[in-house]
Structure 1
Amino acid sequence: MHPDTHLQLHHLRAADLRAEAEAYRLTAETRNPRRLRARVGWTLVEVGLRLASAPRAAVAF
């Protein structure tokens, strides 16, 4: 393959990859609130499990 042809193909592929990365970045930004909500939800589940499994102090009657 001629070097100029190879260079042109490289530039085209690099432009395609940059466009794909930008599209992925924009898509990831729109999904961010769902991810935050899931993290908060799982944190609440973890706190609840820790409270439920906390050792109980002996009760004196």
Structure 2
Amino acid sequence: MRASHELEIFASYVAHAREQTSAGTELTRTMLAHSRERLAQSRKLLDELGPAPVTWPKPSQKE
């Protein structure tokens, strides 16, 4: 009887761990998809802006 109870507890633990892993995997996929969307938006914006002008630092006025 005791072994059966311990087996039930272990099975419950494994089921919970699987649920948590699945939830974590889904969250990771969602975050990755969001990151890809943001990256695509950033690239599109950079393409629209074109290349940045080259600017050189002004020489200091100290003498």
TM-score tier by shorter-chain length is 0.5 to 0.7
Q: Deviations over 1:11-43 (max 9, x none)?
A: 0000000000000000000000344457xx8xx
CA RMSD of aligned residues (A): 2.7
Q: How many residues align?
A: 48
List gaps (5 residues or longer) in structure 2: 1-5
Question: Which one has the bigger helix percentage?
Answer: 1
Match of 2:40 among 27, 33, 40: 33
| TM-score with structure 1 setting the length | 0.58
Aligned to 2:19: 12
Identity between Structure 1 and Structure 2 (%): 6
| Uncovered stretches (5+) of structure 1, i.e. residues with no partner | 56-61
Query: Which has the larger Rg?
Result: 2
How far apart in 1 are the matches of 2:20 and 2:14? Answer: 10
Tell me the distance in 2 between the aligned counterparts of 1:17 and 1:32. Answer: 22
